[in-house]
Amino acid sequence: MIPRYSRPDMVAIWSPETKFRIWYEIEAHACDAMADLGVIPRENADAVWKAKDVEFDVARIDEIEAVTKHDVIAFLTHLAEHVGSDQARFVHQGMTSSDVLDTCFNVQLVRASDILIDDVKALLAALKRRAFEYKDTVRIGRSHGIHAEPTTMGLTFARFYAEMDRNLNRLEKARYEIATGAISGAVGTFANIDPRVEEHVCEKLGLAPEPISTQVIPRDRHAAFFAALGVVGSSIENIATEIRHMQRTEVLEAEEFFSAGQKGSSAMPHKRNPVLTENLTGLARLVRMAVVPAMENVALWHERDISHSSVERNIGPDTTITLDFALARLTQVIDKLVIYPDNMLANMNKFRGLVMSQRVLLALTQAGVSREDAYKLVQRNAMKVWEEGRDFKTELLADADVTAALSPAEIEEKFDLGYHTKHVDTIFARVFKEEA
Q: Which H or E run contains 197?
A: helix 195-205
User: Shortest gap between Cβ of 117 and its own copies (angstroms)?
Assistant: 16
367 binds its own copies (CB under 8 A): no
CB of 236 to its own copies, least distance (A): 9
Q: Give the list of residues 6+ apart from residue 99 with CB closer than 8 angstroms, or none.
A: 26, 182, 183, 184, 185
Q: For residues 8 and 53, which CB has a smaller minimum distance to its own copies in the complex?
A: 8
| Among 143, 144, 259, 270, the one annotated catalytic | 144
Q: Which of 267, 368, 372, 409 binds its own copies (CB under 8 A)?
A: 267
Q: Please report, as residue ranges, which positions from 85 to 144 form the binding site for its own copies (by CB under 8 A).
A: 140-144
Minimum CB distance to its own copies smaller for 314 or for 407: 314
Number of Cβ within 10 Å of residue 50's Cβ equals: 14
Residue 39 binds its own copies (CB under 8 A) = no
| CA-based torsion, 118, 123, 129, 135: positive or negative | negative
Among this protein's residues, is 265 annotated catalytic? yes
CB contact set of 130 (below 8 Å; sequence gap of 6+):
154, 157, 334, 335, 337, 339
Of 16-24, 44-52, 312-320, 332-340: span binding its own copies (CB under 8 A): 312-320
Minimum CB–partner distance for residue 287 and its own copies (Å): 10
Compute, in degrees rounded to 10, the torsion defined by CA atoms 97, 100, 103, 105: -80
Closest to its own copies by CB, 122 vs 187, is: 187
Residue from 351, 376, 352, 349 nearest 364 by CA:
376
| Site membership for its own copies, residue 221 (CB under 8 A) | yes
Smallest separation, CB 53 to its own copies (Å): 29
Of 323, 15, 312, residue with least CA distance to 178: 312
Q: What's the CA gap between 409 and 236, in Å, rounded?
A: 44
The CB-of-73 to its own copies minimum distance in angstroms stands at: 12
Identified binder of its own copies from the candidate list 15, 17, 63, 148, rule CB under 8 A = 148
Q: Is 212 in the site for its own copies (CB under 8 A)?
A: yes
Cα–Cα dist 141/371, whole Å: 26
Member of 126, 127, 339, 354 binding its own copies (CB under 8 A) = 354
Regarding 170 and contact with its own copies (CB under 8 A), the answer is: yes
- Distance separating the N- and C-terminal Cα atoms of the chain: 42
Residues 244-263, interacting with its own copies (CB under 8 A) = 244-245, 247-251
- Check 15, 85, 265, 266 and give the catalytic one: 265
- In this complex, which beta carbon is closest to its own copies, that of residue 271 or of residue 400? 271
Question: Residue 52 CB, nearest distance to its own copies (Å)?
Answer: 27
Number of chain positions touching its own copies (CB under 8 A): 136
Instruction: Give yes or no for residue 154 binding its own copies (CB under 8 A).
Output: no
Give the shortest CB-284-to-its own copies separation in angstroms.
8
Kindly tell me which residue out of 92, 135, 304, 393 binds its own copies, with binding defined by CB under 8 A.
304
DSSP H or E segment with residue 209: strand 208-209
The DSSP annotation for 223-266 comes to: HHHHHHHHHHHHHHHHHHHHHHHHHSTTT-SEE----HHHHT-T
The radius of gyration of the chain from alpha carbons, rounded to an integer in Å, stands at 31
Q: Is 59 in the site for its own copies (CB under 8 A)?
A: no
Active site residue 143: no
**Contact criterion met (CB below 8 Å) for 356 and 414:** yes
Q: Which of 293, 345, 403, 436 binds its own copies (CB under 8 A)?
A: 293
Nearest distance in Å: CB 82, its own copies:
20
Q: Which of 54, 117, 125, 289 binds its own copies (CB under 8 A)?
A: 289
Q: Which is nearer to its own copies, 47 or 374 (CB)?
A: 374
Q: Is 37 in the site for its own copies (CB under 8 A)?
A: no
CA distance 240 to 206: 35
Residue pair 179/110 in contact (Cβ under 8 Å)? The answer is yes
Residue of 15, 370, 379, 407 interacting with its own copies (CB under 8 A): 379
Using alpha carbons, list the distances in angstroms from residue 395 to 275, 353, 357: 43, 10, 12
Q: Which residues are catalytic?
A: 144, 265
